[in-house]
Structure 1
Amino acid sequence: MSGQADVAPTGLLRRVMRGRDPREEHRAATPLELLFDLTFVVAVSQAAAQLHHALAEDHVGSGLAAYAAVFFAIWWAWMNFTWFASAYDTDDVPYRLLTLLQMAGVLVLASGVPAVFEDGDFTLVVIGYVVMRLAMVTQWLRAAIEHPEGRSGALHYAAGITAVQICWIARLWTPDAWAWTTFLILVAAELAVPAWAEYRGHPTSWHPGHIAERYSLFTIIVLGEVILGSLAAVRSAVADHGLSTPVLLIAIGGLLLVFALWWIYFTGNEARLTTLRTALVWGYGHYVVFAALAAIGAGLEAALDAAEHHGHLSTRGAGLSVAVPVAIALLMLGALHRATRTGAVGHALLVLAGALVVLALGFSAPALGIGGAILGMGLAVAATLTANLFTVRHRSERR
């Protein structure tokens, strides 16, 4: 079949759910997908804000653990909807209403984020998460009924997701001593479901270009959260003490970091998701990318707190709160560029050197000053990008 799903006589009210053509031209994100993404802005903002507070109070270990946990729930729910929509977007009334239910689940999850950081209470997060996931089960069951060719894969997805959600609910009564062990086991189970369903059932007809665009749009959303959070922190610092040199340097360095990382992500050809294995590596690797990028915003806010002598985080700790997520983002983006053969920032030694320089600057924050260290990080990432682009151009000219 080609293009859109078969349309019943009732038009938008009800369409037959069929797998979309993965070779469809001009396949772009829909207005519903963009609206769906906006609800995740709230969830990402909540996670980053709570991480900032944890860093400022020097609760680094517990803050990072809570952040990694809630960000997984946010990312995994977004990712599952995105891949399903790429294959089965009918955009009719039932589809839109189930998407609305998932959006409501996102907001419930976001409202439960503070409790995870403060008390380790996952109740609201799990409720919101399960609401989103059970809505996805309903979508998969509909696909199984209306798309006979893809029924096997759809039923595998529905069964796998349902089983894991039952376990998430049961985990709420797990003794505290087993809380993180059971969490990691269930994360592994969630990650295994798509591979199990795609390999054991009929593969879904996701669109490589559409998937690449959706991930690109979410990257921009996360970077926008970094800018918004940093702006709020700068305004607060200026209102309290005026525009000091450290605040100015942090603002310039933060903007340079965001722009350089954006350039790194959007340099080169579109990701070549030619096989399921490559697609899974690329898709799963973005958890690290998204989480690291959002954490940069929290780190910049913590650095501004340190510059204004607020909170309890040391100057070195503030420098590393920015340097570590920047280094992680650099390394993962370099790995993903190589995995998808975009050829943009795939020179391993250059990327590694850039990450090491950034980390060294984080450790050197007491000597350089927090503002100077963060400005140096921005310049280091920009230099890493420039060196990679020069290397790629030199290789292409030699060919």
Structure 2
Amino acid sequence: MTDERGAELLRGGGGSHRATFLELFLDVVFVFAFTRVSQRLITDVATGGERLPLELAQTLFLLLALWMVWSLTAWATSHYDPEQPPIQAVMVGSMCGSLVMAVSVPDAYGPHGLSFAAGYVSIQLGRSIYLTVALRRHSQRHLSSRIVVWSAVSAVPWLVGGLVGEDLRLLCWGLALAMDYLGLVIGWPVPRLGRATATAWTVTGEHLAERYQQFTIIALGEMIFVAGVGFSGSDFTLLRWIGLLDAFATTVLLWRIYFHRAGSVLVEAVAEARQPARLGRSATWTHLTMIAGIVTAAVGYEVAIAEPGGHADAVRVAAIVGGPALFVVGRARFEYEVFGRVSRSRVIGLLLLVLGVPLLSRLPLLGIAAGVTAVLTGMAVADALRARGRPPERPASPM
């Protein structure tokens, strides 16, 4: 028997599909969280050393944990009605837990490990328990109850990891993240209930697509923030001014490349898909790739601003070139998800970035950054020339 009070929490056919102000408020917390992740990466790149691979893995795990929190919250507000007080309570709780995670990021593998893990577990487990209770006898409670089981199991290595030493913490949190992402991929199967299929997520496609667009803007804004903070704390030399303007130009180009065609029609693509949840789930991994690329690019350009004439070692080249290259990889997959094809400019641009590393490595850091900006500019110009005089392309997702 379906509980009518539980049914009120689900999104209906009417009402606005736009993101609410409370959701945008949550995004403000993630702007702060991203700056903390970027600062960790900047420190990793600056210090280098034999432990650099482990330190990069540590920062990656923190980014993956933050992305899991944001993406599942976005899916929840696309599945449930964010205007309902119980769902707003979920949002506020997620916001509080995200803030705890964000302030713990710098020393998450030091004295603040338990607070980071507790913030994560409280969101993942608390949200699912709360929704399971709030939905009462409604059939949709089985979706959140599956997540309760998986979150409860993964909470053990999360919390244990917060209590042990740095290297063991990395292993524990790696195991916990593997469990959480595996559950997301296979639908959190549990005995008797089975797994949740993509169709179980009766998401509002327009809302979910808009949330992805907004989060991309957040990441791009964080790139400007990191570059601006790095510049303002240094001497205002001519080379640093050029580096700042180059970082700004790259941010604008990444915005242009993202929203050209595919990014601008994502809402329509998800709305018209036969299985919006399937396309939305695929877009989750695509946007994770692009976000990771943007965060890495922010670190690379901050390093180029700090030391425009600095030596181009492998780590710095990887940050300056690898970030945009990773973004292009995600953007190519994104184009396939929306249109079922990949433009030649994406492939050519990616090849230029990768194959040009030996040549770019001979330049100072600012020269490498300028070379990357030139490749992105060529990609954006190719997009504009291909679209000139043609009607807007309609989405044709193979999903």
2:19 corresponds in structure 1 to 29
- Structure 2 residue 162 is the aligned partner of structure 1 residue 161: no
Looking at structure 1, the residues matched to 392 and 327 of structure 2 have their Cα atoms a distance apart, in angstroms, of: 29
Q: 1:87 aligns with which of 76, 79, 91?
A: 79
TM-score normalised by L of structure 2? 0.83
SS for the counterpart of 1:307 is coil
1: CA distance, partners of 2:362 / 2:150:
53
Q: Alignment partner for residue 115 of structure 2, among 110, 121, 124?
A: 124
Identify the range of structure 1 (359-368 vs 286-295) with the bigger mean alpha-carbon deviation.
Answer: 359-368
Partner residue in 1 for 2:40 = 50
Native 8 Å contact 1:112 1:125 kept in 2? yes
- 2:397 is aligned to none
Measure the CA separation in 2 of the matches of 1:305 and 1:87. 44
| Aligned equivalents of 1:296, 1:90: Cα separation in 2 | 33
Q: Which amino acid aligns with 2:150?
A: G
Aligned amino acid, residue 252 of structure 2:
F
Post-superposition offset of 1:172: 3.8
Q: How far apart, in 1, do the equivalents of 2:233 and 2:166 lie?
A: 38
Q: 1:249 to 1:357 in 2, by over 3 A?
A: farther
Which residue does the alignment assign to 1:11? none
| Structure 1 residue 150 corresponds to structure 2 residue 140 | yes
Match of 2:368 among 373, 384, 391: 373
Instruction: After TM superposition, give the deviation of residue 204 of structure 1 in Å.
Output: 2.5
Task: Identify the match of residue 381 of structure 2 among 341, 366, 386.
Answer: 386
Q: TM-score, normalised by structure 1?
A: 0.83
What is the CA-CA distance between 1:328 and the residue it aligns to?
Answer: 0.5
Distance in 2, Cα, partners of 1:336 & 1:25: 28
In the alignment, which residue of structure 2 is the partner of 1:335?
333
Give 1:229's aligned residue.
Answer: 226
1:113 matched to 2:108? The reply is no
Structure 1 residues 38, 298: closer, same or farther in 2, change over 3 A? same
Q: 2 CA distance for matches of 1:253 and 1:17?
A: 50
Say whether the 8 Å CA contact 1:77–1:133 is kept in structure 2: yes
Q: Please, which runs of 5 or more residues in structure 1 have no aligned partner? A: 1-5, 9-14
Q: 1:258: how far off?
A: 0.7
SS across alignment from 2:9:
coil
Map 1:60-209 → 2, pairs under 5 A: 60-116=52-108, 119=110, 122-145=113-136, 148-172=138-162, 179-194=169-184, 195-197=186-188, 200-201=195-196, 203-209=200-206
- What is the rounded CA distance, in whole Å, between the counterparts of 1:165 and 1:171 in structure 2? 10
1:322 to 298, 308, 320: 320
The separation in 2 between residues aligned to 1:122 and 1:214, in whole angstroms, is 29
Q: CA deviation at 1:34?
A: 0.6
Q: Aligned letter for 1:339? A: E
Tell me how large the CA RMSD over aligned residues is.
3.2
For 1:39 and 1:176, the matched residues in 2 are separated by 26
Please give the alpha-carbon distance, in whole angstroms, between the structure 2 residues aligned to 1:397 and 1:229. 35
Would the alpha carbon gap of residues 218 and 397 (structure 1) be closer, same or farther in structure 2, given more than 3 Å must change? closer
Deviation for aligned residue 1:142: 3.5
**Structure 1 CA distance for aligned equivalents of residues 299 and 224 of structure 2:** 10
Identity value in percent: 19
Equivalent in the alignment of 1:243? 237
Equivalent of 1:260, from 253, 265, 268?
Answer: 253
- Give the 3 Å change call, closer, same or farther, for CA 123–55 of structure 1 in structure 2: same
Give the Å deviation of 1:113: 1.1
**Residue type of the alignment partner of 2:259:** F
Change (3 A) 1:363 1:111: farther
Structure 1 equivalent of residue 348 of structure 2: 353
User: How many equivalent residue pairs?
Assistant: 375
Say if 1:51 and 1:298, in contact at 8 Å, map to a contact too.
Answer: yes
1:42 and 1:135 map into 2 onto residues whose CA distance is 23
> Which residue type is aligned with residue 205 of structure 1?
T
The structure-2 alpha-carbon separation of the partners of 1:160 and 1:69, relative to structure 1 and needing over 3 Å to count, comes to same
**One-letter identity of the residue aligned with 2:250:** L
- Give the deviation of 1:396 after TM superposition: 7.2
211, 214, 219: which one pairs with 2:216? 219
Q: Structure 1: how far apart are the matches of 2:159 and 2:260?
A: 42
Q: Deviations over 1:346-395 (max 9, x none)?
A: 22x43232123234555444533322221221121121132244446699
The amino acid that maps onto 2:224 is I
Structure 1 position 167, deviation (Å): 3.6
- How far 1:16 sits from its partner (Å)? 6.2
Q: Which amino acid aligns with 1:384?
A: M
Q: CA distance change for structure 1 residues 58 and 178 in 2, over 3 Å: closer, same or farther? A: closer
